[in-house]
């Protein structure tokens, strides 16, 4: 009785020359952050729709005192303008330009800190408690949820800024900077519909 022996040949592939990072759709981190944007965006979309659902239950809208215009306008304006340095940060990171990345990352972090201070001013100026009525609850929930994301993002900004200046900086860290710029841009764009609705409803009352 003879036994047939099959030999399996394996081919070795040398991947040592491949880079340990990538940008855009070639990056695993990019897709992870994109999914995070979808999750956070869905939650904010539900809050946005809740606002209009609650709106249909009141004859007078908004049913509480108007949100002061100055703090929310200042906060939204600076937040929108922050996209510019963030986009430039992402572009510099793609080019692996450490000097330019440091500069724009630092500017973006400073602008973000100013925006966060303005957001704190906005929250402190809200003329109603979260428990006053359904309108107040939706407003507080919307601003609060976005602020939590904003605070977490600022923490990431501070860590990346410290890393870029203190080092050691590896090429893979530029991927982190670019993806961080993507999430920041998402946070800005997702807030603009809320800012617009709050401003219009406050102006027409």
Would residue 18 count as lying in a domain? no
Residue 4 above 60 pLDDT? no
User: What CATH number has the domain bearing residue 159?
Assistant: 1.20.120.80
At residue 9, the 3 state secondary structure works out as coil
Tokens, residue 15: 């991947």
Q: How many residues does the chain have?
A: 205
Instruction: Quote the tokens at residue 76.
Output: 């939204």
What's the pLDDT score for residue 183? 93
Lowest mean pLDDT among 3-17, 112-126, 145-159, 164-178: 3-17
Q: Are 146 and 187 in contact (CB under 8 A)?
A: yes
The predicted model gives 151-155 an average pLDDT of 94
84 — alpha (psi -120 to 50), left (phi > 0) or beta? Answer: alpha
Euclidean distance between CA atoms 58 and 133, whole angstroms: 10
| DSSP H or E segment with residue 189 | helix 171-204
Instruction: Tell me which residue has tokens 């990171």.
Output: 93
Q: Which residues contact 130 (CB under 8 A, 6 or more apart)?
A: 136, 137, 140, 141
In a domain, 106, yes or no: yes
H or E element in which residue 113 lies: helix 98-124
Residue 4 lies inside a defined structural domain of this protein: no
Give the total number of structural domains in the chain. Answer: 1
Residue with tokens 């929108």: 80
Inside any domain, residue 9: no
Domain contains 3: no
Residue 102 has pLDDT above 90, yes or no: yes
Structural domain boundaries enclosing 116:
24-49+68-204
- Residues 50-99: pLDDT tens digits? 999 998 888 888 888 888 889 989 999 999 999 999 999 999 998 999 99
Evaluate whether residue 32 is within a structural domain: yes
Catalogue the E-assigned strands of the chain: none
pLDDT tier, 6 (very low <50, low <70, confident <90, very high otherwise): low
Asked if pLDDT for residue 194 goes beyond 90, the answer is yes
User: For 19, phi and psi rounded to 5 degrees?
Assistant: -75, 150
CA–CA separation, 149 and 98 (whole Å): 27
Q: Is 6 left (phi over 0), alpha (psi -120 to 50) or beta?
A: beta
DSSP assignment letter at 17: T
Indicate whether 119 pLDDT > 90: yes
Residue 79 lies in a domain: yes
> HSE of 182 in the Cβ direction (CA atoms, 13 Å)?
22
The label of the residue with tokens 């670019």 reads 178
Structure tokens at 56: 């249909």
In a domain, 10, yes or no: no
Interval 44-49 mean pLDDT: 94
């Amino acid at each position: 009785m003879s036994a047939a022996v099959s030999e399996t040949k394996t081919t070795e592939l040398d991947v040592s020359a491949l880079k340990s990072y990538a940008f855009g759709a070639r990056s695993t981190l990019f897709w992870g952050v994109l999914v995070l944007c979808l999750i956070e965006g869905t939650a904010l979309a539900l809050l946005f729709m809740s606002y209009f659902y609650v709106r249909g239950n009141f004859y007078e809208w908004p049913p509480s005192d108007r949100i002061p215009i100055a703090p929310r306008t200042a906060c939204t304006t600076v937040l929108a303008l922050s996209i510019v340095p963030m986009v430039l940060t992402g572009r510099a990171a793609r080019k692996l330009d450490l000097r330019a990345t440091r500069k724009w990352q630092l500017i973006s972090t400073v602008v973000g800190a100013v925006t966060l201070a303005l957001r704190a001013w906005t929250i402190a100026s809200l003329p109603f408690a979260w428990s006053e009525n359904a309108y107040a609850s939706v407003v507080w929930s919307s601003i609060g949820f976005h602020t939590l994301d904003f605070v977490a993002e600022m923490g990431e900004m501070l860590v990346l800024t410290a890393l870029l200046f203190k080092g050691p900086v590896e090429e893979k860290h530029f991927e982190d900077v670019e993806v961080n710029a993507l999430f920041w841009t998402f946070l800005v764009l997702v807030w603009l519909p809320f800012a617009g609705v709050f401003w219009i409803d406050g102006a027409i009352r």
